[in-house]
Amino acid sequence: MLSELGAPTIKLTTTGAKTGKERNVPVLGLKNGERWILVASNWGRAQHPAWYHNLKANPEVKLTFKNRTGKYVAEELTGDERDAYWNRIKDVNPSLESYQQRS
């Protein structure tokens, strides 16, 4: 499903950093081959969303898109790779530029 922002909405299933419980949250993502790119923008707030902290503590996750679920291991992108994906996802969702300026 595409969000009103033009990016696919996927269900991210994480393990709670403090509770160890399974947590589900809808997030915007960008598919690149077998990889999903997620932006932990938290709508431009200064702090990362809770699911980001869950990923840092427990990087094994499930992603569901179009009724298909896969298992993934999260990693934080840095440097040129982060910049390249950031530019691609801004092309799909230009409003992310304003989030970046606010945070």
pLDDT > 70: percent of the chain: 79
Q: What's the whole-model pTM score?
A: 0.79
Q: Which residues of 45-74 are buried (b: 16+ CB within 10 A; e: fewer)?
A: eeeebbbbbbbeeeeebebeeeeeeeebeb
**Backbone conformation region of residue 43, classed left if phi is above 0, alpha if psi is from -120 to 50, else beta:** left
- Across 61-82, average pLDDT: 94
All domains of the chain in start order, with CATH: 9-102 (2.30.110.10)
Please say if the pLDDT value at position 101 is more than 80. no
The per-residue pLDDT for 21 is 97
- Across 53-74, average pLDDT: 95
- Across 25-37, average pLDDT: 88
Q: What is the pLDDT of residues 5-28, one digit of tens each?
A: 456 789 999 999 999 999 999 998
